Amino acid sequence: MLRAELPDHVGVSVFCPGWVATSIWRSSERRPEHLGGPQEANPTAGRISEENAMSADEAAAMVLQQIREDRFYLLTHPHVIEYARTRWEDIEAAFAEQAPRYEGDDRYDVTKAIARIRAQRGG
């Protein structure tokens, strides 16, 4: 909804990468104390990442091109669609259980509310 709420000259995108060779596998070394404190990273994860992941430069080039094209979703790895499909199925099931559609529920739809406000303001 952020994209709909911001002025047209402000871009918003969602980065959905696959496996990119970064040092994120070492993030446990910087874990704050209130989250359990630092822990030693698994060096095997780094070796596997370096040998098998897309380079950060390659991913960055893809993402920059997609930003130039004003893409909302910034994607790097085709196979990630399977993870996205599974996640969507989980989200859809959660909506069916926790927030099923009902008559009149669209009165809380942010996009429609923004349109109503803009119409009331004359533009």
* Tens of each residue's pLDDT in the chain, 123 residues: 788 788 888 889 999 999 999 888 888 889 999 999 999 988 887 777 778 899 999 999 999 999 999 999 999 999 999 999 999 999 999 999 999 999 999 888 888 888 888 899 986
SS3 15: strand
Clarify whether residues 119 and 85 are in a common domain. Answer: yes
Clarify whether residues 54 and 92 are in a common domain. Answer: no
The residue out of 43, 60, 76 marking a domain boundary is: 76
Whether 72 contacts 13, CB under 8 Å: yes
Clarify whether residues 2 and 43 are in a common domain. Answer: yes
How many domains, in total, are found in the chain? 2
Residues of 87-113 as b/e, b for ≥16 C-beta within 10 angstroms?
A: eeeeeeeeeeeeeeeeeeeeeeeeeee
Q: How far is CA 113 from the centre of its chain?
A: 24
**pTM score above 0.85:** no
Clarify whether residues 19 and 40 are in a common domain. Answer: yes
Two tokens at 55? 């380079």
Clarify whether residues 82 and 69 are in a common domain. Answer: no
Range of the domain at 84: 78-123
Clarify whether residues 99 and 68 are in a common domain. Answer: no
Clarify whether residues 68 and 82 are in a common domain. Answer: no
Clarify whether residues 72 and 85 are in a common domain. Answer: no
Beta strand spans in the chain (E):
14-16, 20-21, 54-55, 73-75
Clarify whether residues 31 and 90 are in a common domain. Answer: no
Clarify whether residues 69 and 87 are in a common domain. Answer: no
Phi, psi of 70 (to 5 degrees): 60, 40
Clarify whether residues 34 and 87 are in a common domain. Answer: no
